[in-house]
Amino acid sequence: MGIKDTAAEWRVIASETPFTGNKTSVRTDEVVMPDGTVVKRDYQVHPGSVAVLALDDEGRVLVLSQYRHPVRQRLWEIPAGLLDVPGENPLHAAQRELYEEAHVKAEDWRVLTDVYTTPGGCDEAVRIFLARDISDVEGERFEVEHEELDMELGRVPLAELVRGVLAGELHNNCLVVGALSLAAALAGDGLDALRPADAEWPARPFEA
């Protein structure tokens, strides 16, 4: 018997936002538990994100190394970024991030997987795309700033990424989920069986 996540919403009797940042905020809800007790739940409110596992003709994945201050590490990642506005088409956002971070475009797009990054404390939803038939974009590169100024790009065979994940050497959640999902798809029904790039995304509804 197959299993799947289902929508549910427990009653909230009060809500406040004690902190509002540049892109995210913190919300405190008073939630009624099944036994009738009321508890407070604090969580980060997030606009949602997209990530791109770009696969070249040699079976290598486009990755980048970037400093992440909260964990005090340089992490190898795949291109990713925030949805800029509510209801933004996630495919358009993914294409933008692939161009801005890697100066690359792709002709074939599929949905690889959808995840909640930390559902116990944040409502961030991420759609990870698979991009194939990739090529460099002509013209000047997008002007980067801050951590992106120190970014390093590379192309790594999928098998090496999977090895690094299982060895505890790679930790970025989008890279981990993306690499393992791609490996599972290749071992299963194949990449053409993946969902289309415009597949419905209930976590972040959008207009085509």
pLDDT of residue 63: 98
* Arithmetic mean of pLDDT over the chain: 95
CB contact at 8 A, 128 and 109: no
pLDDT of residue 156: 98
CATH no., domain 49-196? 3.90.79.10
**What six digits make up the tokens of 83?**
């949805």
Residue 148 annotated in active site: yes
- Whether residue 143 is predicted with pLDDT greater than 80 in this model: the reply is no
The better pLDDT of the pair 145, 102 is held by 102
Mean pLDDT computed over 148-176: 95
Query: Which member of 148, 152, 169, 200 is catalytic?
Result: 148
Lowest mean pLDDT among 54-58, 144-148, 202-206: 144-148
**Dihedrals phi, psi of 135, to nearest 5 degrees:** -155, 160
pLDDT of residue 177: 98
CB contact at 8 A, 125 and 49: yes
> SS3 for 42-55, per residue?
EEEECCCEEEEEEE
* Spans of all domains in the chain: 12-45, 49-196
Distance CA(84)–CA(127), nearest Å, equals 14
User: What ranges make up the beta strands (E) of 1-103?
Assistant: 12-20, 25-32, 38-45, 49-54, 60-68, 73-77, 80-82
pLDDT of residue 155: 97
Distance CA(21)–CA(11), nearest Å, equals 26
Q: What confidence tier does 149 reach under pLDDT thresholds 50, 70, 90?
A: confident
- Whether residue 110 is predicted with pLDDT greater than 90 in this model: the reply is yes
pLDDT one-digit tens code per residue, 184-207: 999 999 999 999 999 999 999 998
- Whether residue 140 is predicted with pLDDT greater than 70 in this model: the reply is yes
